[in-house]
A and B are shown apart, each in its own frame.
Chain A
Amino acid sequence: GDSVTQMEGPVTLSEEAFLTINCTYTATGYPSLFWYVQYPGEGLQLLLKATKADDKGSNKGFEATYRKETTSFHLEKGSVQVSDSAVYFCALSDQTGANNLFFGTGTRLTVIP
């Protein structure tokens, strides 16, 4: 079945460091891919998305490119800030029409000044 695997955390970085959080997926058909972010005490928010191969999603300095050949959707940011500290979830949509989202286990990022 469809699934998402993302790197385990926690990840701790200094401010202005480069961030990569790996995400790979297994799916039949052509899923859409998402990164969601969960700030402390809040619900998940959509960070970015890509709906087809080679699409690049970007938002708030974060980027991820839909790579069909490597079945990956790695999240990157060139210079992280303390305010980026959160849990990041990679997710994949189910194309059966049931609007089911498969989430990865989440990666906690802590950015220290």
Chain B
Amino acid sequence: DTAVSQTPKYLVTQMGNDKSIKCEQNLGHDTMYWYKQDSKKFLKIMFSYNNKELIINETVPNRFSPKSPDKAHLNLHINSLELGDSAVYFCASSQSLLPLHFGNGTRLTVT
């Protein structure tokens, strides 16, 4: 009965590859997010979707493309992976107002 689940938990891949991270929430929330946490634990928002509509798009390379097929899913696709993309990526959801409910993170390592 995990509230916000993201897969995979670990992802190791080579530079130049394309990869996706999936996220699903079963809380009935209308807003979903992707956050990036770097090696120093700094957390930065990347995208936010409300009812399948993009409402926040921070300064993120266009190699990153979120896709929301429905309110319960927000997947993150990354093209042409670079070393600097290595980080932990967190999916989160909320019902209009905060607080956020986070997934357990996906640790991406680009070699």
Contacts and interface: CB of A to CB of B under 8 A. Distances in A.
A43 B98 contact: no
B42 A105 contact: yes
A34 B102 CA distance: 14
Contact of B99 (A49, A87, A98, A105): A49
Contact of B41 (A43, A87, A98): A87
A9 B98 CA distance: 26
Contacts of B97: 99
**Interface centre among B55, B96, B99, by most A CB within 10 Å?**
B99
Chain A's interface size range is 20 to 34
Chain B's interface size range is 20 to 34
B102 A44 contact: yes
Query: What does DSSP make chain A's interface, helix, strand, loop or mixed?
Result: strand
A108 B100 contact: no
Contacts of A7: none
Contacts of A42: 104-105
Query: What does DSSP make chain B's interface, helix, strand, loop or mixed?
Result: strand
A106 B43 contact: yes
Interface in A29-81: 32, 34, 36, 38, 41-46, 49
B86 interface: no
A100 interface: yes
Given A44-B100, A98-B55, A101-B100, A106 B94 contact: no
B48 A43 contact: no
B83 to A, nearest CB: 22
B90 interface: yes
